Amino acid sequence: MADLQNILRGPSLPVKAWDVVPHRGTMLLIDELCECSSEHAVGKTSVTSKNPFLDAGGRLEGVCFVELLAQLAAASRGLDILKTSGPVKGGYLTGVNDFIINKRASLGDLLYLRFKKTMEMETVIVIDGSIFLHDECLAYGRLKLHLNEMISAAPSVNSVNENTGEGSKHLNPVHRSIIFSAIRKSRYKHKISNETGSLSGEFCFETDFPGFDGHFPGFAVLPGVVMVDICMVLCEDLLQSQLVLTGIEMAKFTKPILPDEIVRAEVNAVENNGMYRVRARVISGDKIAANFLFSAKRDINNL
């Protein structure tokens, strides 16, 4: 797999993920960094019942693949830092392009994660990554990450003490992942525009939201992949159907979301031959936190 002369020395490989990434608790999703060089990395993880993106049917949400590759990149960076005896630093996902989800993973699957670095500029890297089950590629695409210390914490604003989700129609909430179900519980109002085929909703994620657990210790930040799920929740309510994410054509993350902030999301979906093309954005305060263009289809297992 690798050029042995180019493999990084330092802590012996494989190395447990918790030694080289800042993630902990619920949001520590990868198990090991198996192979690493200045240009590539290989890791692995088992899909367990503790994964917060696993639904009650034992299927892993496709958006989790993005987070797995982001954590692999963080592990590679962390190993490099440990070589100089420095502390493992945080980082964040800033973009996703042309990410294709061929097939979902299931409970018990052993997944291999791979990436090749295509660009590096100071603390920003771009990687082409893929997820494999045996010899089958489940997903692949391009990620852009800022691998550095997180920005300093800012005080939360517009705190909401009670989120009831009143007026929303939940689609089989008992069968969804911990993350997906918690997003629904964090929503407290929405508005549908029948003329434009769009829906907007407001959310508030309190400190006990599972996506904050271990992302990151000492400074909770909502994972970018959760912002994708926020928009998927609204899409399901707009279309009144359970959906499966099939790809992310474009995702751009521009502002972190902290606990107790009011977040507004907007989605618009257009159908073409049974596939939905979705434009969406997430707004925090008066600033855009993320823009998305992704595709989804109806979940035939829940029709």
Residue 61: pLDDT band (50, 70, 90) is: very high
- Count Cβ atoms below 10 Å from residue 77 Cβ, excluding itself: 23
Residues contacting residue 184 through CB under 8 Å, at least 6 positions apart: 165, 168, 170, 173, 176, 233
Q: What pLDDT, on the 0 to 100 scale, is given for residue 291? A: 99
Torsion sign over Cα 232, 233, 239, 240: positive
| The token pair that represents 85 in the structure block | 């005896």
Is the confidence at residue 5, as pLDDT, over 70?
Answer: no
Q: What pLDDT, on the 0 to 100 scale, is given for residue 171? A: 45
DSSP, residue by residue, the chain: ---GGGB--SSPSSEEGGGT-S--GGG----EEEEEBSSEEEEEEE--TT-TTB-TTSBB-TTHHHHHHHHHHHHHHHHHHHHTTPPP---EEEEEEEEEE----BTT-EEEEEEEEEEEETTEEEEEEEEEETTEEEEEEEEEEE-SPPPPP----S--S----TT---SSGGGS-HHHHHHHHHEEEEEEETTTTEEEEEEE--TT-GGGTTSSTTS----HHHHHHHHHHHHHHHHTS-EEEEEEEEEEE-S---TT-EEEEEEEEEEETTEEEEEEEEEETTEEEEEEEEEEEE-GGG-
Q: What pLDDT, on the 0 to 100 scale, is given for residue 87? A: 63
Residue 12: pLDDT band (50, 70, 90) is: confident
Q: 197-232: per-residue pLDDT in tens?
A: 799 999 999 999 999 999 988 889 999 999 999 999
Q: What pLDDT, on the 0 to 100 scale, is given for residue 38? A: 86
Residue 194: pLDDT band (50, 70, 90) is: low
Q: 30-57: per-residue pLDDT in tens?
A: 999 999 998 999 999 999 999 999 999 9
Q: What pLDDT, on the 0 to 100 scale, is given for residue 167? A: 39
- The predicted model scores a pTM of 0.88
How much is the average pLDDT of 155-183? 56
Give me the CATH topology for the region 10-146.
Thiol Ester Dehydrase; Chain A (3.10.129)
Q: What pLDDT, on the 0 to 100 scale, is given for residue 170? A: 42
Q: Where do the domains of the chain lie?
A: 10-146, 173-302
Q: 223-274: per-residue pLDDT in tens?
A: 999 999 999 999 999 999 999 999 999 999 999 999 999 999 999 999 999 8
Residue 3: pLDDT band (50, 70, 90) is: very low
* Class at the top of the CATH hierarchy for domain 173-302: alpha beta
Q: What pLDDT, on the 0 to 100 scale, is given for residue 200? A: 94
Q: Are 288 and 255 in contact (CB under 8 A)?
A: yes
Q: 78-132: per-residue pLDDT in tens?
A: 888 877 766 666 678 999 999 999 999 999 999 999 999 999 888 899 999 999 9
Q: What pLDDT, on the 0 to 100 scale, is given for residue 86? A: 62
| Shared fold status for 10-146 and 173-302 | yes
